Structure 1
């Protein structure tokens, strides 16, 4: 058995080793930016494919590592666990669940609304002709995704209680399989998954987000990484804005670039991208109002353990190069 002094020395050494592994020991700046992203993280995928982010960060002595996630919720869980430093765009719902889990993160940027980029998909010859027809139906959706809020908003508009439908929480791939095999009567998802099926002759869009959910996507950073590398945050933001401008100005080139990565044909990708704004901007209080409505909706549906005050989250202030309260 080790003596108390020996155990204390071993514990101290292990703590120092863990800190050194993260690049934060003794105030050292991390030299690797660990990015988490998902299939719908278009702009990050463009930067990754073009190698532009690595090139822009090289003068700062920073390299990039990449980790792909199936959806936004596991991505922000990884951010909370400090397994990644930066989260590529996630739907507006996802940071609310992260905030409910007391995650320490900073809103870095926001994409302007894209309400047409998510939809409730049904069979063309099925019985669902209006939102009111969703009552008592089996519906596939990804938990905590923006499409989850779209579903709740659609049910509320149709005056259908959430417990009056059978919701199946599935990943996008599993949701599509369940829909195609007839296990569910509706599938609620987002682009590019919507575009992958919306041209099929037996499929139609029951409703998209217009008038229901604005669908703003957010870029997040761990609070610790943002505080230690504001220079990196600034570079990433500038690169995202440039990538968004390129996708909008060269839609066919962007679709051709993404086609082999996404495993979709270029026309499908171009159609999906046309429904996204890709306008990257700073997070401001006036563009943040819907977050509280989303948080209240999920709490009232008993999907959050406690109310979430979205204004208590932090956003990155580029002028001051630090995190501030949403309202500041």
Structure 2
């Protein structure tokens, strides 16, 4: 009986200690693993200056960075639990991930930048309009935002996709193929687009204006978004502030990014001028073009199944 009484007193004392002012039980350590591509502009700047680590210090969050070659591998890693958050990916990427049953949640978007991707041809090409692409070989990165731009541009002219010959190439290989004559047109996005214009004299045939909004999205795993909203609040705020800084300081931003990417700052400045870098919450209504994109790829047999693009989870920041 005495032992039981002592045990009850000890339990009560521990409870009071946990609740006492100024005494906090140690929290479990938390981490944030970010997947990014080399061209992830805002994340590249945050990684360089260490400001995101500093912002997360009060929450005692450990931050790690994981580089990928393109958006789809980032989504695969996110769904596999290898990372927690993705840097910006093109609008098409979440759709293909969703078709593969990925468990992911929209965290933020960069507002539409339709001119940041375009169909280009060589400076001396006889091709003058999108209609002239009929019967031509066109380089495009399969499943990228630029792929949807090509579908939309052809549809607007009443040209079926099968009327061209697609060459599915990476951006670097697409540019090489255009320069060598291996293809007659190439669909590119910035900064590859601006580099081709300034370095090779590539000519824009048609950009995304009126055809494709070209939003870029940040996503988290469903589980991470559900459990770590306080961390995502800080990430959202830092992304928003960095986007504002890029537009307010175009020369300094171009210099910093040029050094990171080993690109002429003039190329980066041209590319950044065509991106809004306005980071904002994702809304269900704002995903309407995502459904249009999904339907377009499905109609061409490029998506393995039909998807409801608005069915993914949407995380919302505590303060917009």
- TM-score for the superposition, normalised by structure 2: 0.88
> How do 1:174-193 residues align onto structure 2 when only pairs under 5 Å count?
174-193=173-192
Look up the SS of the partner of 1:307 in the other structure: coil
Question: Comparing both structures, which one devotes a greater share of its residues to helix?
Answer: 2
1:257, distance to aligned residue in structure 2 (A) = 0.7
Measured in 2, the distance between the counterparts of 1:83 and 1:269 equals: 31
Instruction: Work out whether residues 118 and 187 of structure 2, in 8 Å CA contact, stay in contact via their aligned partners in 1.
Output: yes
State whether structure 2 residue 36 is matched by structure 1 residue 37: yes
1:201, distance to aligned residue in structure 2 (A) = 5.7
State whether structure 2 residue 147 is matched by structure 1 residue 148: yes
Measured in 2, the distance between the counterparts of 1:282 and 1:110 equals: 6
Structure 1, 216-225 or 65-74: larger mean CA deviation:
65-74
Instruction: Work out whether residues 29 and 229 of structure 1, in 8 Å CA contact, stay in contact via their aligned partners in 2.
Output: no
Look up the SS of the partner of 1:198 in the other structure: helix
- TM-score for the superposition, normalised by structure 1: 0.86
Which residue number corresponds to residue 95 of structure 1? 94
Which residue number corresponds to residue 299 of structure 1? 298
Look up the SS of the partner of 1:273 in the other structure: helix
> How do 1:234-249 residues align onto structure 2 when only pairs under 5 Å count?
234-249=233-248
1:31, distance to aligned residue in structure 2 (A) = 2.5
Look up the SS of the partner of 2:182 in the other structure: coil
Which one has a bigger Cα radius of gyration? Answer: 2
Measured in 1, the distance between the counterparts of 2:39 and 2:227 equals: 28
Which residue number corresponds to residue 104 of structure 1? 103
Instruction: Work out whether residues 30 and 229 of structure 1, in 8 Å CA contact, stay in contact via their aligned partners in 2.
Output: no
State whether structure 2 residue 50 is matched by structure 1 residue 51: yes
Instruction: Work out whether residues 29 and 60 of structure 2, in 8 Å CA contact, stay in contact via their aligned partners in 1.
Output: no
Structure 1 residues 29, 156: closer, same or farther in 2, change over 3 A?
farther
Which residue number corresponds to residue 12 of structure 1? none
Structure 1 residue ranges, 4+ long, deviating more than 6 angstroms after superposition: none
Residue correspondences, number? 294
Gaps of 5+ in 2: 1-26
1:50, distance to aligned residue in structure 2 (A) = 1.0
> Residue by residue, what CA displacement relative to the aligned partner does 1:96-155 show, whole Å, maximum 9, x if unpaired?
101101100000001111000001110121121100111121111111111010011011
Look up the SS of the partner of 1:113 in the other structure: coil
> Residue by residue, what CA displacement relative to the aligned partner does 1:67-121 show, whole Å, maximum 9, x if unpaired?
2222212221221222211111111111010110110000000111100000111
1:29, distance to aligned residue in structure 2 (A) = 5.9
1:270, distance to aligned residue in structure 2 (A) = 0.8
RMSD (Å), alpha carbons: 1.7
Measured in 2, the distance between the counterparts of 1:143 and 1:246 equals: 32
Measured in 1, the distance between the counterparts of 2:50 and 2:177 equals: 36
Look up the SS of the partner of 1:260 in the other structure: helix
Instruction: Work out whether residues 39 and 261 of structure 2, in 8 Å CA contact, stay in contact via their aligned partners in 1.
Output: no
State whether structure 2 residue 286 is matched by structure 1 residue 280: no
Look up the SS of the partner of 1:196 in the other structure: helix
Look up the SS of the partner of 2:81 in the other structure: coil
Instruction: Work out whether residues 71 and 145 of structure 1, in 8 Å CA contact, stay in contact via their aligned partners in 2.
Output: no
